[in-house]
Structure 1
Amino acid sequence: MSTPRTRDGLHTLGRWPSDRARIDPDHVAVVDRGVELTYAALEERVASLTRRMRAAGIGRADRVATLVGNSAEHVVLLFACARLGAALAPLSWRLAPGELARQVELLTPVLLVVEEETAALARQVAGRLLAPVPTAHLTSLDSAGALPVVREHAAPVEAVDDEDPLLVVFTSGTGSAPRAAVLSHRACWWTNLSLSRTVELSAHDVVLSVLPQFHVGAWNIQPLLAWWTGATVVLERSFDPARVLSLVGERRVTTMMGVPTQYLMLAEHRAFAEADLSSLRSALVGGAPMPAPLLRTFHARGVALTQGYGLTEAGPNVLCLPPHEASRRAGWAGVPYPHVDVALADPATGARIDGPGTGELLVRGPGLFSGYVRDEPATAGALRDGWLATGDVVERDQEGCLRVVDRLKNIFITGGENVAPAEVEAVLRRHPAVSEAAVTGVPHPRWGEVGVAVVVSRPGVPTDELDLLEHCRRELAAFKVPVHVRLVVELPAVGIGKIDRVRVRDLVADLLPDRADGGMP
């Protein structure tokens, strides 16, 4: 990676709680299930846990894995790791024991932190490990009790460098098996700085954080910036639309981040029309483009939405679409954040594309990740001459605005024509009876591949396969129209707002034989 290596520790995050504690000690830093934690209390707990972890032998370059929900204790642990030069590796409690065991063995953490809700899952994981990993309960991190001793001697006090890992986050695995992406202090510092130049926060803001903390966005899209600037973060362990609508009014929430599915759940809730959203001046959208009708629903309630695009390896922030452009640019991801450079490359030749065009998105900037844990080939494939190859195909217009077409690996070729599933999915979602849709290319003896769709229908709105195919034919070229549509109860997913394409293909595997001799779709 060509990003200059800085060794002076100017961009480390461990001092953020102490800085804010000196400036405004009594201001609330975290609200966790109704319990408030001031910046003075946050700093006290971070300092105490740092000492105890160092005494247990945990120090620079170690990894601490967690299997916990969103909590103030988790925040304290992150900042303690930041001061030690250790990396926090939050794991998804949604995974199966075997999946988690493979991730733990890849990370080789010195400690695995669990809580009551995940203790049984952690025991199942432990039974699959080749070598045991010391385990600590989340509540013990905030008590006087001793932590498991991971080394015979206390870890030395060492200066933390900008390039020291801070977060190790597993990718969602939409295009491959999940990989452990390493985000340094430098990457997180610059990512939050670039966010602050677009979506400003101050000590007067109240951030509602609903994304699970095993997602990079749960740290680097607002919460860390909030603790840098002295704002208050209201942590939620799960997304409940009724509770979110209530919290916005009760806590005077000024900003939040979510995916389109979550905003749809809010808009469809019976309390939405009367909910007090007067404090909610802005909201961030990630994961997928915001449908125009849903966008207008929130604009009508006075909520300014900022759409964007990102990926774990970029920290994650790459592109943003300011609220004043949201209506005119519905479906677009926007322009690069400050301190972020982008380029387009021809997927076949790698040649750069200047001006308007369509190609693979390349990203460069100080917010990029350092690499994947124990996977040099994948790191080399992602980081090319200082640029991150995202694997996403984007379109750039005359004004330099970008729109994500689809994942490079998702695009299929039918009769010599490229088809982006995302385009077909967007058309299907415009049908009044469609709640969610996924399209995938499947082998065909005549056309090479054809598209097949899986659709979740909206309750109370009748539809069937013929109706949906006719809808597609009215809006798409013939070769883009799926040859078959299957109605399902829900779409398989690998993360919030992200479709599991492998399982979608499994769902439609039996739909092909009767269409094998059909004409060009």
Structure 2
Amino acid sequence: MNELTLGRWLADRARTTPQRVAIRFLGQDLTYAELDSRATRLAAGLAARGLRRGDRLATLTTTSPDHVATFFACARLGVALQPISWRLASAEVAYQLEDAEPSLLLASDDYAELARKAGTKVEIARIGDPTLEADGEVEDVARDHDPLLLVYTSGTTGKPKGALLSHANCFWTNLSFDRTTSLRDGDVVLQVLPQFHVGGWNVQPLLAWWKGATVVLEPAFDAARALDLIAEHGVTTMMGVPATYLFLAHEPGFAVADLSSLRLAVVGGAPMPEALLETWIARGIEIVQGYGLTEAAPNVLCLPPEEATRKLGFAGKPYPHVDVALRDADTGALVEGTGTGELVVRGPNVFAGYWRNAEATEAAFADGWLLTGDVAERDAEGFYRIAGRIKDMVISGGENVYPAEIEDVLHAHPAVLEAAVVGVPDERWGEACAAFVVLREGSNVGTEELQRLCRDRLARFKVPKTFAFVDALPRSSMGKVLKDELRAGATEVSR
């Protein structure tokens, strides 16, 4: 039996509560019956075009009901949805398309040009085009462990890797999420996270459609509009990264905004600053903090609202059905009791591996545990606090940025001899990138030229905020760049 597949979630709900509102989008309501009908017709149309179980379908689109219908159509066909970030440069989009080899790329009108600039051989069609649909019933052929989502994550080697998340992975992460921060069928969910993130699906929206709740979809996040939507639609729960709540709190109308309906706010992607947490608690909003990563679909740790004040700065305890441990980086042994080590994860939510990358998949696991690359501390009560990142990742506005990607771009400039990138505190985004550059003798390239190079090759959030031109990079006796020294210097400069 294949009981964990998600394709039937929408059909089951449409049969049970057909007239209940599934999506509110830009002033229009879409019932469960209407959404299921759209997904069914699209599945039939995609099948008629030759898409089969095991294929990939890529999207380059803003959040929309069309994208939701596409997700459920793919789920029924056993096709993996590959949602590509519209924040990427065309070269980055091209790499993901070439690597995944999808059968079709669906793009919204606002990103059609980006799709064309990617210059791949993949057929491009407009998402939501009614000619993609067809009459007829479609059999749900997906299996529990078939890929459901193919989400690319930045890699420490500079090349993104495609994390394959199965139906079973997504089933279990939604079940465990519900057992910790339960959604009710009468809830109204505000969805402002982009759907190219796994969190845009598995942190509230899919669970809401499983349970028959209403999701208010937004194509993009605007703080003032979000506050209005909370009051207008009686939003009861939402998910965001710390920057989401920071921008909301900094809105002039925040202090008097009607938040009376909002009972629960979930935050992830980065630690929530204590002052910001206190601001929201003062407004009477329960905050659920958490920790996760794409490879775990993404939920790993959760700090429930009742512990938010007492355990400020902690990411919490593992979700149900999720096991975590601390691993000694030197010996590989698991740390017992209180202590510090690399956080490792296992459970049915953990992915099977990276797309066509056996080497990276093998490196991601040790003794059956997923290696997160993050250092965590565990206290006597079993609560975890994220202490640092082994992989040197920077989290800017909830986006994961790996310095190696940026360093590769800088090294491509003929005037650059060496480059190193580190993360530094940033009031607006939590963290920003700072670049240290050693120029070749006789070169006089400046900040503007290197920033322009990065903007041409990388998403905007990856472009270093500051550049420092130095004579040499500090190195250890083994020749490793001492990024801690660079980070300390960059922090001083940023002040």
Taking structure 1 as the reference length, the TM-score comes to: 0.77
- Counterparts of 1:350 and 1:393 in 2: how far apart (Å)? 13
Q: In the alignment, which residue of structure 1 is the partner of 2:492?
A: none
Tell me the CA shift for residue 23 of structure 1: 1.4
- Counterparts of 1:158 and 1:39 in 2: how far apart (Å)? 18
Residue type matched to 1:364 in 2? R
Choose the corresponding residue for 1:35, options 28, 36, 43: 28
Q: Secondary structure at the match of 1:191?
A: helix
- Counterparts of 2:288 and 2:377 in 1: how far apart (Å)? 19
Q: In the alignment, which residue of structure 1 is the partner of 2:100?
A: 107
Tell me the CA shift for residue 272 of structure 1: 0.1
CA contact (8 A) 1:9 1:159 kept: no
Tell me the CA shift for residue 455 of structure 1: 5.3
Residue type matched to 2:64 in 1? S
Tell me the CA shift for residue 349 of structure 1: 1.7
Q: 1:263 to 1:107 in 2, by over 3 A?
A: same
Tell me the CA shift for residue 157 of structure 1: 5.2
Is it true that 1:249 corresponds to 2:231 in the alignment? yes
- Counterparts of 2:474 and 2:174 in 1: how far apart (Å)? 51
Residue type matched to 2:288 in 1? T
CA contact (8 A) 1:363 1:389 kept: yes
Ranges in structure 2 where 5+ consecutive residues have no aligned partner: 408-419, 429-450, 476-484, 489-495
Choose the corresponding residue for 1:362, options 344, 349, 368: 344
Is it true that 1:136 corresponds to 2:121 in the alignment? no
- Counterparts of 1:253 and 1:364 in 2: how far apart (Å)? 34
CA contact (8 A) 1:247 1:253 kept: yes
Choose the corresponding residue for 1:81, options 74, 77, 91: 74
Q: Secondary structure at the match of 1:64?
A: strand
Tell me the CA shift for residue 177 of structure 1: 2.9
Residue type matched to 1:232 in 2? T
- Counterparts of 2:473 and 2:125 in 1: how far apart (Å)? 56
Residue type matched to 1:221 in 2? V
Tell me the CA shift for residue 343 of structure 1: 1.0
Residue type matched to 1:344 in 2? L
Q: In the alignment, which residue of structure 2 is the partner of 1:167?
A: 149
- Counterparts of 2:139 and 2:25 in 1: how far apart (Å)? 31
Ranges in structure 1 where 5+ consecutive residues have no aligned partner: 1-7, 149-153, 412-420, 426-437, 443-449, 459-488
Q: Kindly provide the CA deviation profile for residues 370-401 of structure 1, in whole angstroms up to 9, marking residues without a partner as x.
A: 21111110001113332111111100111110
Aligned residues: 431
Q: Kindly provide the CA deviation profile for residues 212-262 of structure 1, in whole angstroms up to 9, marking residues without a partner as x.
A: 100000000000000000000111111111000000000100000111111
Is it true that 1:303 corresponds to 2:285 in the alignment? yes
Choose the corresponding residue for 2:19, options 20, 26, 34: 26
Residue type matched to 2:33 in 1? A
CA contact (8 A) 1:59 1:155 kept: no
Q: 1:457 to 1:236 in 2, by over 3 A?
A: closer
Q: In the alignment, which residue of structure 2 is the partner of 1:72?
A: 65
Q: Secondary structure at the match of 1:15?
A: helix
- Indicate the percent of aligned positions where both proteins have the same amino acid: 53
Choose the corresponding residue for 2:190, options 201, 204, 208: 208
CA contact (8 A) 2:44 2:133 kept: no
CA contact (8 A) 1:340 1:364 kept: yes
Q: In the alignment, which residue of structure 2 is the partner of 1:343?
A: 325
Is it true that 1:315 corresponds to 2:315 in the alignment? no
- Counterparts of 1:230 and 1:10 in 2: how far apart (Å)? 19
Q: 1:367 to 1:454 in 2, by over 3 A?
A: closer
Q: 1:264 to 1:192 in 2, by over 3 A?
A: same
- Counterparts of 2:169 and 2:422 in 1: how far apart (Å)? 40
- Counterparts of 2:157 and 2:201 in 1: how far apart (Å)? 23
Q: Secondary structure at the match of 2:255?
A: coil
CA RMSD of aligned residues (A): 3.1
